[in-house]
Amino acid sequence: MPAGRYAPSPSGELHLGNLRTGMLAWLFARSTGRAFLLRFEDLDTARTVPGSAEQQLQDLHAMGLTFDVQDGAEMIWQSERTDRYAAAIAQLEQAGLTYECFCSRREIREAARAPHGPTGAYPGTCRDLDTAERARRRAQRPAAVRLRTPRTETGAAQRFAVEDVLLGRLSTEVDDFVIQRNDGAAAYNLAVVVDDQLTGVDQVVRGDDLASSTPSQAYLRGLLYGTEAAAKVQYAHVPLVLNIEGERLAKRDGAVTRAALEEQGIEAEALRDLLLVSLGLPAGPLGQALGSFDPEALPSEPWVFQPPSG
């Protein structure tokens, strides 16, 4: 069955922006007759906070989100799917579409950017190393694995585009991005593509801060599963929640989680209603908002949250 999903990292409590995006993902999925899945992206063990996944699930339930069971569980854990990522990386390696990269983040940051590439693009330092040089560098530090993407005649990365329900056409150069970190773990851009494909997710709703990575993910999905599978995915990148300074909302802004706001007298139902109204939807149970939900009527600008005083 086609599905949408919400995929937080269990690195602490969800703030209002996370909850609002989760509600939108749920509304998009349910309004189109899709299943709705919950996936915890816990591959980065250094950022995983014990107990936060359970707290996040409780907060999402309090907002009215319901999730469908897959493989007998309500929650999907990336840490339990490493064999799938390894298989995808092996597939790309066998096709000659990968290479080892020994660059540190500092070296990449300080290196001249790739020819004609955007700021921050990988400069291609390790793309064409010979066998002897790879062996020498491998003895010095573990390698990450990058995807070898096509180049134009001038050496520039080729552009790839997808259509977004809210933002229109998203087009970026697809750089040689990392698909396996140097600690052996699958990189985010690979894991998210594999998970979405293998769990039937064909609708991706998330914050618009992630829009720029979407063409690369769609390109990788086409490589692994075919262009038809990649073309079927519907994307919708939604505006963020900002603080009163106009910056992306974060936990450091104070009372921005359900628990913190509850301590200030704002119960879960009132918080849900606040978020619904910020989207131009009627207050009340989340399910009732389905009748009024229209993606074209959603606000196109970020919502600025002003925390309660006192």
Same domain, 115 and 70: no
CATH code at position 123: 3.90.800.10
Look at residue 199 and tell me whether its pLDDT is greater than 70: yes
d(CA 301, CA 258): 23
Give the pLDDT of residue 118.
56
Q: Which of 180, 205, 220 is the last residue of a domain?
A: 180
**What angle is formed at CA 177 by the lines to CA 29 and CA 162, rounded to 5 degrees?**
40
180-217: buried (b, 16+ CB within 10 Å) or exposed (e) per residue? bbbeebbbbbbbbbbbbbebebbbbbbbbeebebbbbb
The CA–CA distances, whole Å, from 309 to 19, 101, 237, 306 equal 21, 50, 31, 9
Chain-wide mean pLDDT for the chain?
92
Same domain, 96 and 54: no
pLDDT band at 70 (very low <50, low <70, confident <90, very high): confident
Same domain, 89 and 45: no
CATH code at position 71: 3.40.50.620
Same domain, 129 and 175: yes
pLDDT band at 46 (very low <50, low <70, confident <90, very high): confident
Q: Which range of residues forms the domain containing residue 154?
A: 85-180
169 found inside a domain:
yes
Q: CB-based contacts of 149: which residues, under 8 Å, 6+ apart?
A: 157, 158, 174, 175, 176, 177, 219
Same domain, 260 and 290: yes
Give the pLDDT of residue 62.
97
145 found inside a domain:
yes
Same domain, 71 and 89: no
Same domain, 119 and 76: no
Q: Which of 180, 215, 247 is the last residue of a domain?
A: 180
26 found inside a domain:
yes
Q: Which of 134, 158, 180 is the last residue of a domain?
A: 180
299 found inside a domain:
yes
Same domain, 160 and 112: yes
153 DSSP 8-state letter: T
What's the average model confidence in pLDDT over 129-140? 94
| Greater pLDDT, 115 or 236 | 236
Same domain, 66 and 92: no
Same domain, 104 and 75: no
* Cβ pair 305, 255 in contact under 8 A: no
204 found inside a domain:
no
Phi-psi region of 260 (alpha: psi -120 to 50; beta: other; left: phi over 0): alpha
Smallest Cα–Cα separation from 110: which of 99, 123, 126?
A: 123
pLDDT band at 50 (very low <50, low <70, confident <90, very high): very high
Same domain, 116 and 175: yes
185 found inside a domain:
no
The CA–CA distances, whole Å, from 80 to 52, 84, 145, 167, 174 equal 17, 9, 21, 33, 29
Q: CB-based contacts of 296: which residues, under 8 Å, 6+ apart?
A: none
Strands across the sheet containing 144-147: 98-101, 144-147, 178-180
pLDDT in tens, 266-292: 999 999 999 999 999 999 999 999 999
- Number of domains into which the chain is organized: 2
218 found inside a domain:
no
190 found inside a domain:
no
Look at residue 309 and tell me whether its pLDDT is greater than 70: no
